[in-house]
Amino acid sequence: MDDLKKKKDTLPPKVAAMYQAVYDLLLEDVDLTKVKVSDITSKAGIGKGTAYEYFESKEDIIAGAICEYLNNLTRIVEDRMDSKDTFMDAMEYLFSIFEEFCGSKEKNVFMKIALLCIASVHTEFSVKLHQEFLRREQSEHKIPRPDNMKWECLNRLVEKGVQSGEIRKDIPVEYISFSITSKIVAFLMYFTSSSGTMSQDCPLPKMMELLLEEIRRNFINPDWNA
């Protein structure tokens, strides 16, 4: 997942440094709810006052870093899925990413970000963070909010699969897309749970196998051959 760092070249250097600082703090298992602006700027190697030239608050910085991380991750995954020959090849790649995460330092970062984005917003920090996501989405820059990302790539892949005959034509594309998205969300919940990937009854490879088989059974044309 080294590609995640490429997009930072398009950001102002000091903004990129602060985003990298947030990422590094996550790698170090630091509790973001207790982080101060000065912790981020110190890690970034810039003065605290510089942060307020670009951001309004700590939550603004963290929200920006999370948006940047997830937007880059989504872009990379979508590009790779689009390059696959068949719909099921793309689905197998999508779920295989989690196996890759399990063996890398990215797992803890991804899990913390996922929990911040999809967990309940009962804490003051979470409320402020979600408010920043919403403000950014509604700003003139139209920055996508991580917990509201659209799977346009998935819709394209489903439509492509229907046209090729791989996916059944008697089921609406929108229904297939929503159904598969629900499985992805369920898998994310499993993946980010404290015991999910360590479960003896249903370890990660088994969970992936079951979900892929359900997608194949429900939506793939039984008469289709690659």
Q: What is the pLDDT of residues 64-86, one digit of tens each?
A: 888 888 778 878 888 888 899 99
Residue ranges covered by each domain of the chain:
58-219
Distance CA 107, CA 105 (A): 5
| Tokens encoding 168 | 């059944």
One-letter identity of residue 51: A
Distance CA 172, CA 162 (A): 10
| Tokens encoding 225 | 């051959």
Q: What is the pLDDT of residues 189-209, one digit of tens each?
A: 777 665 545 567 778 788 889
The pLDDT averaged over each successive group of 10 residues in the chain (226 residues) is 52 92 89 90 94 89 84 82 92 83 66 63 67 66 48 85 94 92 82 60 84 95 82
pTM over 0.95: no
Give the per-residue pLDDT at 171: 94
Q: How far is CA 141 from CA 8, 150, 162, 191, 225, in A?
A: 17, 17, 34, 32, 44
Determine the CATH number of domain 58-219. 1.10.357.10
On whether the CB atoms of residues 53 and 41 are closer than 8 A, the answer is no
Give the per-residue pLDDT at 219: 96
Strand partners, 220: 167
Counting other chains too, the contacts that 146-154 makes at CB distance below 8 Å and 24 or more residues apart are: 146/66, 146/67, 146/70, 146/113, 146/117, 147/117, 147/118, 149/70, 149/74, 151/177, 151/181, 151/184, 152/78, 153/77, 153/78, 153/81, 153/82, 154/180, 154/181
